Chains A and B, each alone.
Chain A
Amino acid sequence: MPHISLNNLSISYGNHKVLHEVSVDIPDSQITVIIGPSGCGKTTLLKSLNRLLDLNDDVSVKGNVLIDGVNTYDPKADVLSLRKKLGFLSQRPYPLPMSIYDNIAFGPKVHRLTQEQIVQQIRDLEGRSFQVPERKNGAMDVLVESYLRLAGLWDEVKDRLRTPASRLSIGQQQRLALARALAVEPEAILADEPTSALDPLSAQLIEKQFKFLRNNYTIVVVTHILRQARRIADYVIFLYLGELVEHGPAESFFKSPKDERTRAYISGEIS
C-alpha cells in the first residue's frame, strides 16, 4: 500500500474545474516530481493532499486521496494528524513571525510533546543516545539543534537563535522552513516550487537536502523547471491543463515519453 494515492481526484474553484479525474500512486521513499506549465493545477494538486485547499472559498473536491489507506476527504478524517504527517514547503518561504528557535520548536510545542517524546524523537532522528542538558528546555534545545543541522542551517544560525526568523536570507528561510516541517516528524514532504524564489546556490542546497532525505521520506516536489526535475526526480508526474497526461519512473519518462504532449513539453515546444 503506497503512502499517498489519488483516485479520480477532481477539483474545481467555483465553476472552474482545474483538475480532471487524476489517479496516481505516489511511490514511497522516492522523490516524485510534478511537472507542467504554470496554471496547470500543480499547486492545487499538492495542496489537496494535506487539505490546505480547505482555506480557499468555494473549492469542491471529488474523488479521494488515500494517505496510509485513510481517505483524506472523509468528513471524519483527522485533518490535524494528517497534516502533521505531510510536511509542507511553500513556494516562497514564510518564516513564522517568531525567532529562529521558536520556528522549529513551534510544531513540537503545539503538538504538546512531553520531555520523553522529545528525547525519543531525537534518538530516532540521530540514531544514537545522547545526554539531555541539565537546563530548562534542554531537550528542546537539542531537538532544535538537530533539525537545524539536518536542514544544513545550524552553522549559519547557531549564534542568533533568538533573533527574528524574518531576518534570515530567503535561501536560509527556505531551509528553516524545511527544518520546521521535519520537526513534526512527517512521513512525507510536499514542496511547491521550493526553489523558485531562491538564488541558484540556495536552490542547489535545497535540492541536495531533498536527495539526502529521500531515503527516509516520501518527497513530492512541484516544479516547472525541467532541468530541476531531471536532476532530482525518481518518479515524474506530468500535468497539462488539469489533466494527468503521463507518469512513470524518471528514467523512462524522460527517455521514452509515450504521450505526444509529454514529448512536446520535454523538448520545450510547449511550456
Chain B
Amino acid sequence: MRSRRLEEQIFKGLMIASLTLVLVVLAGIIFITIYKGAPALTLSMLTETPKGGYYLGKEGGIANAIVGSLYLGLGASFCALLLSVPVAFGLQKEYTGWRFASFTKLVLDVLWGIPSIVYGAFGFVVMAYFGLRASLLGGIIVLTLLMLPIMVRSMEEVIRTIPLELKEVSYALGTTRIETTMAVVLRQALPGMVTAVLLAFGRGIGDAASILFTAGYTDYIPRSLFDPVASLPLAVFFQIGTPIPEVQERAYASALILLLIVFVVSIVSRILSHRFSKHIVR
C-alpha cells in the first residue's frame, strides 16, 4: 500500500512539474517577445515605411510589413472562405456520397499536414511556369492553399455535430437542400465557422515559409496585386539576420506586433463566436 501511494505521489509530482514546465516555457516565449519588443516599439515603427538607410539603423518603420501582412491575410482569408464554405457544406451527405466525402476529408487532412514550405515551393514553381514574379497575388494564392484545409476541416467539424433531426424538421417543411443549408445549417454552424476563419487567418498571417518564395519583400506598400509585398514574419526573419543591433531591435518590435495581431484575432474569434451563438439549438 505504501509503495502504491508513493508511486501515485511521484507521478503526480512529475505531472505537476511537466505542466508547470509547459506553461512556464510558453509564458517565457510571450515574456521574451514583450520584454525585447516593447522598448523598441515606437509610433514611427507602426506608421512609417523604411526610409533610406533603414537597414543600417536609420529612420523608418515597418508599416510596409504590417499593411502587407494584413493584405495577405485578409486576401487569402477571403479567397479561402469562398472556397471552403461550399466544400464544408458539400461534405454533408445530402450532397455527396459517403465514399467521396470520406476520401475528400482524408485528402484535406493530408493537405493540412503538408508543411508550409512545400506550399511555398509549389507556388514558386507554378508562378515560374506562368512567368509571374513574387507578388501580392502569389502570396495570396499560396496562403489560400495553406488556409483552405484548416478552414474546411474546422468548419466541417462543426457542421458534422448538427443533429440530423434538426435538418429533418427543416426538410419536412418541404425545403430544398440549399434552403436547409442556408437557413438551418449555416445559422447553426455560424459561430464555428467564424472561429474557423479567424483560426485560419491567424495561421496564415503568421506563416513565413510559404510566402518567402511567393510574396517577395519590399519597402513599399503594394499598389497592385502584381507588386511584391512585405510581411511581418519575414520582417522579423530578415531583420534578426542583420548584424546591426538597432535593426535587430526592430525585429523584436515586429515580432511583438505580429504576436499582438495573432492574439487579438484569437480573442476576437472567441468573442464573436459567442456573439453569433444566440440562435443555436442544442
Report which A residues bind B (CB closer than 8 A). 47, 50, 52, 55, 57, 80-84, 86-88, 90-92, 94-99, 106-107, 110-111, 164-166, 177, 180-181, 184
With a cutoff of 8 Å between Cβ atoms, the chain A residues found around residue B278 in the complex are: 164
Q: B173's closest neighbor in chain A, by CB?
A: A107
CB <8 Å contact, B280 and A166: yes
Q: Does B160 make an interface contact (CB < 8 A)?
A: no
A184 touching B279, Cβ below 8 Å: no
Q: Which of A80, A88, A92, A106 contacts B176 (CB 8 A)?
A: A80
* Set of chain B residues within 8 Å of A177, measured between Cβ atoms: 169
A residues within 8 A CB of B171?
Answer: 52, 55, 83
Are A97 and B281 neighbours in the complex by a CB distance under 8 Å? yes
Q: Residues 160-193 of chain B: 1 if any A CB is under 8 Å from the residue's CB, otherwise 0?
A: 0001111111111111100100011001100000
A166 near B165 with CB under 8 A, answer: no
Show 20 residue pairs from A and B whose CB-CB distance is below 8 angstroms, ordered by the A residue.
Answer: A55-B94, A55-B167, A55-B171, A80-B174, A82-B174, A88-B168, A88-B169, A88-B173, A92-B165, A94-B166, A94-B169, A97-B281, A98-B183, A99-B279, A110-B173, A165-B281, A166-B279, A180-B169, A181-B172, A184-B173
B93 contacts partner chain A, Cβ-Cβ < 8 Å: yes
Asked if B281 and A94 sit within 8 Å, CB to CB, the answer is yes
Provide the bound-state CA to CA distance between A187 and B93, in Å. 29
Decide if B282 is an interface residue (CB 8 Å cutoff): yes
Question: Which partner residue on chain A sits nearest B176 by CB separation?
Answer: A80
Binding site for A on B (CB under 8 A): 93-94, 98, 163-176, 179, 183-184, 187-188, 278-282
From A95, A99, A181, give the contact of B173 (CB < 8 A).
Answer: A181
- Chain B hits for A99, CB < 8 A: 279
Write out the residue numbers on chain A whose beta carbons fall within 8 Å of the beta carbon of B168: 47, 52, 55, 88, 90, 94
Minimal beta-carbon separation of B274 from chain A (angstroms): 14
Q: Which residue of A lies closest to B163 (CB)?
A: A94
Q: Is there contact, CB below 8 Å, between A90 and B169?
A: yes
State whether A83 and B174 are in contact (beta carbons under 8 Å apart), knowing that A97-B281, A98-B279 are contacts in the complex: yes
3 A-B pairs with least C-beta separation: A88-B172, A84-B174, A97-B187
Partner pick for B184 among A88, A96, A107, CB 8 A cutoff: A96
Shortest B179–chain A CB gap in Å is 5
Complex Cα gap A60–B281 (Å): 31
In the assembled complex, the Cα of A50 lies from the Cα of B172 at a distance in Å of 7
Chain B residues, Cβ within 8 Å of A47: 168
Contact B169 A96 (CB under 8 A): yes
Of the residues B179, B183, B281, contact of A95 by C-beta under 8 Å: B281
Residue of B nearest to A95 (CB): B281
Chain A min CB distance to B59 (Å):
54
Nearest residue, chain A, Cβ from B92? A55
Q: Shortest beta-carbon distance, A81 to chain B, in Å?
A: 7
Task: Contacts A55-B94, A90-B169 known; list 15 others, CB within 8 Å.
Answer: A55-B164, A55-B167, A55-B168, A83-B173, A86-B172, A94-B166, A96-B170, A96-B184, A106-B173, A106-B183, A110-B179, A164-B280, A166-B280, A180-B173, A184-B173
- 8 Å CB contact of A97 from B165, B174, B279: B279
- Set A57, A166, A184: member contacting B174, Cβ < 8 A: A184
A84 touches B173 (CB 8 A): yes
The residue in chain B whose Cβ has the minimal distance to the Cβ of A107 is B173
Q: Which residues of B contact A80 (CB under 8 A)?
A: 174-176
Chain A residues, CB < 8 A from B166: 94, 96-97
**How far does the Cβ of B268 sit from chain A's closest Cβ, in whole Å?**
22
Shortest CB–CB separation between residue A116 and chain B, in angstroms? 20
Is there an interface contact between B187 and A166, defined as CB atoms closer than 8 Å? no
Interface-centre pick from A50, A52, A177, A180 (highest chain B CB count, 10 A):
A52
A181 CA to B170 CA, complexed, in Å: 10
List of B residues within 8 angstroms of A180 by Cβ: 169, 173
Residues of A within 8 A of B167 (CB): 55
Minimal Cβ-Cβ distance residue in B for A51: B171
| A92: nearest chain-B partner, CB-CB | B165
Are A110 and B279 interface neighbours, CB within 8 A? no
Closest to A108 in B: B173
- Out of A52, A83, A110, which one reaches B183, CB within 8 Å? A110
Query: Do A90 and B183 touch (CB < 8 A)?
Result: no
Q: How far is the CA of A84 from the CA of B98 in the complex (A)?
A: 28
Neighbouring A residues of B173 by C-beta, 8 Å: 83-84, 88, 106-107, 110, 180-181, 184
Most chain B CB within 10 A, of A88, A91, A94, A106, is at A94
- State the Cβ distance, B161 to closest chain A Cβ, in Å: 13
CA distance A86 to B171 in the complex (A): 11
Residue numbers in A under 8 Å from B187 (CB-CB): 96-98
Min distance, Cβ A15 to any Cβ of chain B, angstroms: 16
Q: Is the CB of A81 within 8 A of B174?
A: yes
* A47, B169: Cα distance in complex, Å: 11
Query: Cα distance A52–B169 when bound, in Å?
Result: 9
Chain B residues whose CB sits within 8 angstroms of the CB of A111 once the complex forms: 174
Distance, CA A47 to CA B165, complexed state (A): 11
Q: Could you say which residues of chain A place their CB within 8 Å of the CB of B172?
A: 50, 52, 83, 86-88, 181
B143 CB to nearest A CB, Å: 32
